[in-house]
């Protein structure tokens, strides 16, 4: 009950920020002029606000997108507000391993540094779909796509951190819905049955995978003595384009009834920005954050064996593209 009251009134936590803090609030003291950030899913919603605020603080942005027109529109809006913003739009379809590899190759050929990777893009498939690589689309996009992207960009991040002395940061955007999942292992070969498909379960599973990925990645970075951290976050409940397939009276009614729990998009982008750039988080890795403060993930999400198993299985799937 106390936590609910703190959330509703926006009480600040140990970080000095809370549920009502915005992305601009948490970055107001940050100068990012020497940093380069890649943000997936930056064509709308939380990702677009994250991109705007990081650009406002001086970061160079790489916006990968399947819809290049939407990405160019976001770029134009940001540069209209911030004429000095340096933004590069590049093509990327996170549901395609081949597209991810092309993007990584193209980015690495630009000879740019990479300080921040924000794996923000999210997909919620209301109907069963399969990616071109043969995997259930929600997990393929939200987990496998980001897993491969991170693998392909990790050397560049480690190299940049070594050359500049500036710690690199990876942020995986998860969700509190991850706690809906039980302890069973994520088995990729059992996900492609349209008869047993449940959209909410598929989404929750992908969000659990984001946290498990973060946990194992953090351990591996530590063993490598890499000057790069990895953390996961819950942005909060916010209505974004992820519900676009179900806009209508019922969806509108549900969100109206839940309106007191909803965050604005600037508030929802705050935890991502806080974990990505705030100096308080120097050398903090493998943690889960909500409302700009460290939070408790589910027991399954904290299981190192589950994290290792998921990494092993995911790595086997994308191996030929690494």
Which residues are tagged catalytic?
197
The H or E element containing residue 88 is strand 87-91
249-270 burial: b if 16+ Cβ within 10 Å, else e: eeeeeeeeeeeeeebebbbbbb
Tally of residues, the chain? 322
Return d(Cα 303, Cα 209) in angstroms, integer: 12
∠ Cα 80 263 76 (to 5°): 15
The alpha carbon of 148 is separated from its chain's Cα centroid by a whole number of angstroms, namely 14
> 116 with 169: CB under 8 angstroms?
yes
Return d(Cα 19, Cα 289) in angstroms, integer: 12
Dihedral angle of Cα 89, 274, 53, 103, to the nearest 10 degrees: 0
Return d(Cα 242, Cα 240) in angstroms, integer: 5
∠ Cα 27 29 33 (to 5°): 80
The H or E element containing residue 223 is helix 199-223
The H or E element containing residue 275 is helix 270-277
What DSSP character marks residue 142? I
Beta bridge partners of 130: 136
DSSP states of 20-82:
T--HHHHHTT---TT-EEEETTTTSHHHHHHHHHHHHTT-EEEEEES-HHHHHHHHHHHHHH-
């Amino acid at each position: 009950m106390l936590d609910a009251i703190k959330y509703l009134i926006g009480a600040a936590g140990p970080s000095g920020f809370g549920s009502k803090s915005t992305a601009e609030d948490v970055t107001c003291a940050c100068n990012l002029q020497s940093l380069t950030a890649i943000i997936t899913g930056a064509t709308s919603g939380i990702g677009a606000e994250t991109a705007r605020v990081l650009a406002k603080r001086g970061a160079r942005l790489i916006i990968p997108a399947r819809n290049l027109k939407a990405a160019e529109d976001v770029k134009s809006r940001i540069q209209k507000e911030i004429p000095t913003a340096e933004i590069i739009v590049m093509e990327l379809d996170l549901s395609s391993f081949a597209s991810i590899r092309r993007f990584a190759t193209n980015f690495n050929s630009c000879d740019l540094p990479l300080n921040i990777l924000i794996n923000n893009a999210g997909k919620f498939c209301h109907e069963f779909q399969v990616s071109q690589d043969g995997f259930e689309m929600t997990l393929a996009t939200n987990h496998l796509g980001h897993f491969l992207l991170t693998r392909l960009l990790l050397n560049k991040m480690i190299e940049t951190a070594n050359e500049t002395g500036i710690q690199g940061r990876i942020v995986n955007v998860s969700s509190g819905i991850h706690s809906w999942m039980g302890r069973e292992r994520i088995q990729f070969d059992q996900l492609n049955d349209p008869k047993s498909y449940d959209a909410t379960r598929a989404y929750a599973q992908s969000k659990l995978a984001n946290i498990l990925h973060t946990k194992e990645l953090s351990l591996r970075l530590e063993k490598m003595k890499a000057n790069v951290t990895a953390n996961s976050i819950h942005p909060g409940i916010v209505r974004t384009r992820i519900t676009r397939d179900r806009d209508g009276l019922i969806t509108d009614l549900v969100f109206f009834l839940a309106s007191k729990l909803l965050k604005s998009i600037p508030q929802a982008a705050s935890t991502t920005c806080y974990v990505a750039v705030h100096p308080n988080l120097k050398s903090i890795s493998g943690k889960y954050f909500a409302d700009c403060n460290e939070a408790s993930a589910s027991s399954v999400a904290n299981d190192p064996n589950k994290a290792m198993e998921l990494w092993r299985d995911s790595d086997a799937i994308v191996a030929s593209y690494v």
